[in-house]
Amino acid sequence: MIKKILMKQDIWKDAFFYGASILCAMLFTRIYLRITWGAGVGRHLLSELTSFTHDSPHQYRILIPFLARVIKTVIPVDLIYIYAFLTTIFTFLLLISYREYLFCFFPRDIAYNYSFLLLYPLFWNYCALNQIYLPSDIPAILFFVLGLIFIFKENWRLYYLFYLISTLNRDTSLFLIFAFLFTKFAKLKKKELFFHASFQLMIWVSIKYLLAKLFIRGVTPVSYQLKENITYLLSLLKFNSFTFSALLSFGFSFGLIWLLIPFSWKTQPDYFKKLLFVLIPFYCFVFLFGTLGEVRIYNELIPILLAPATYSIYNLLSFRLGKEEGAKKA
């Protein structure tokens, strides 16, 4: 009897969560696309990406344009509506996946509620501080979260499935290898660690090579940004209006959630602490191949920073509630 009641409560809780998640996904997509598409992204870019003819490294991120192409074949509607639909779906799935990630470290009731905190850095990095839309961005966060879940659970079959899909979506799936190495270095035998790391790298290189050969001939596979980033950093020393706006954008990326991490550092799960080491290779790669001032590209860092920040919020609120309850009892 009690089990049935609990099952009914879980069903209603799930129904509310899924309903709230789809509404939040729709709201986020509407704001995100209104800002980015209003800033200049048009049908021409989406058409080139979908037809595999865009002349930049972005074309190698083939997954979402391929899905859009399939949908366009079945349902002949404007590509803008297709990409809006896909962005909504992937945002919805991201909220669900982030909840599953929190289930690994938090009580279930807490994970249900705190999973919506994901919307905060999403709004900051993709709406408040961004004017660029690329279809692979939101799915990249989804696949990275799934990768973190399966690394933690050591479910290698599902991990490799989504790692492969993630690599088709965006080359930053490479950072899952670093996440794997930093979190499993002391837990797996060295032979097993080497096998998994080398196998992941082989998958990544193979997919990038095949994409270059089969789909997008003539497109530059890598964009080197070292010189531009050095110029960008030097320009910050001039202390003008650009310096202020750049520092504001960079400093407020992720909505300052990283400031919360130290508050519960001693009790943070080791998994969260070890994942923070991914920031080192991530920023090194961004310095070489990305654009430092473009916060949109910091996709994979959102779950890495948000989860320990969430843990700090949970601990701080639990401590405060505990003190209030103690005061009432006294």
What is the per-residue pLDDT across 84-105, written as a single tens digit (0 to 9) for each? Answer: 999 999 999 999 999 999 999 9
Residue in the structure block whose two tokens are 């430092």: 292
pTM: 0.91
Is residue 325 assigned to a domain? no
Q: Are 68 and 135 in contact (CB under 8 A)?
A: yes
Q: Is 305 within the bounds of a domain?
A: yes
pLDDT tens figures, 295-321: 888 889 999 999 999 999 999 888 554
CB proximity list for 155: less than 8 A, separation 6 or greater = 149
CA angle, 316 then 318 then 319, to 5°? 65
Please report which confidence band the pLDDT of residue 223 belongs to, taking 50, 70 and 90 as the band edges: low
**Is 285 a domain residue?**
yes
Number of structural domains in the chain: 1
The span from the CA of 229 to the CA of 251, in Å, is: 16
Among 109, 131, 95, residue whose Cα is nearest residue 293: 131
156's tokens: 């290698």
In a domain, 302, yes or no: yes
Q: Is the pLDDT of residue 49 over 80?
A: yes
Print the domain residue range for 43.
2-319
pLDDT digits (tens, 9 = 90+) for 147-177: 999 999 999 999 999 999 999 999 999 999 9
The reported pLDDT for the residue numbered 42 is: 63
pLDDT at 230 over 60: yes
